[in-house]
Amino acid sequence: MFKTLLVTTLLVSATAAFAQAPGPQRSGTPEEQKACAPDVSRYCRAVMNDGDLTVLGCLKANRAKISKKCDAVLVSHGQ
């Protein structure tokens, strides 16, 4: 579970960094992390160790299946 939360934290941080112009990097809130952790675990377990952008790509590839809460997190970060 800790690994999933860590990956989700990194995912949201990477998403924020790519969604913004250069400047301070924002990390996801605990609520955002909680929203995507089950989806990362369910749909992206096989790529969890392949890097944040790979996990982001996996979530985007499974967009039709991920939860509305996680989808909202991706949208809020420009993904």
pLDDT of residue 24: 31
Using CA atoms, how far apart are residues 79 and 73, in angstroms rounded to an integer? 9
User: pLDDT averaged over the chain?
Assistant: 78
CA distance 45 to 63: 15
Reading phi first (left if > 0) and then psi (alpha if -120 to 50, else beta), residue 29 is in beta
Residue 11's pLDDT band (cuts 50, 70, 90):
low
Supply the range of the domain harboring residue 61.
2-19+27-76
> d(Cα 33, Cα 45) in Å, to the nearest integer?
16
* Number of folded domains that form the chain: 1
pLDDT surpassing 90 at residue 78: yes
Chain segment 43-65, per-residue pLDDT in tens = 999 998 898 889 889 999 999 99
What pTM value is reported for the model?
0.64
